[in-house]
Amino acid sequence: MRKIIQSILFLVVVLLSSCGDSVDYEYSSHRNFFTFHNETHQNPILASAMNPLSPGVYCIIRCSFVSGRYSFSFENNQGQKSDAPVWFNGIDLRLESWKYVGMNNGLIVGYGNLDNPSPFFAYDLQCPNCFDANVLPQRSCELKMSSDGIAACSSCRRKYNLNTGGNVVAGESGKKLTRYRASSTGPYGVLGVN
């Protein structure tokens, strides 16, 4: 009986000691409640990234204010871009989507290509090792994507793997990409990022 109690105490000590201060949270605590209704907008560039049958295709979503109106633009890592801005409709205005498109008006979304089933990822478009939301004026350090699912920062020269949770794969060690919870109801469905 004494050996059982000692074994249980040992397990408790081991489990408690593994919870240190250096917790690496999987998702960002940055406020981001972005919803996009692609069943209404019918954007094929975004649809390619929201399709679970096309893993490894990622899409950059940007929000901008053009000619007195809010709009979205889309660009995927296969070199395709939206021909024209996608103007906000009443649903987008009601949801106030322009307020929550990443830390500096940009997101990257898509299905990873290394697991089965493929996980759906959403990342902030800004390099987490260069961008500082507390510094004004804010310096934009947007990531550039390649067709193989690598995002690169031209400022710090780090490269991140979009297919493996946004970890650093080249350059100095540093923080992983800022990741958000995300869901997709299909290519021409609803995208939710929070």
pLDDT digit string, tens, across residues 7-36 = 455 444 444 444 443 334 555 455 567 888
In this structure, what token pair is assigned to residue 153?
A: 């920062």
28-193 topology per CATH: Rieske Iron-sulfur Protein (2.102.10)
- Per residue in 77-132, pLDDT (tens digit) is 999 998 777 888 777 777 776 666 777 789 999 999 988 888 999 999 999 998 77
- The answer for residues whose C-beta is within 8 angstroms of residue 166's C-beta and 6 or more apart is 121, 123, 151, 160, 176, 177, 178, 179
Tell me the two tokens of residue 114. 């290394």
pLDDT of 99 reads: 66
Global confidence as pTM: 0.79
107 contacts: CB under 8 Å, gap ≥ 6: 34, 60, 61, 101, 122, 123, 124, 125, 180, 193
Q: Tell me the three state secondary structure of residue 19.
A: coil
Domains of the chain by residue range:
28-193
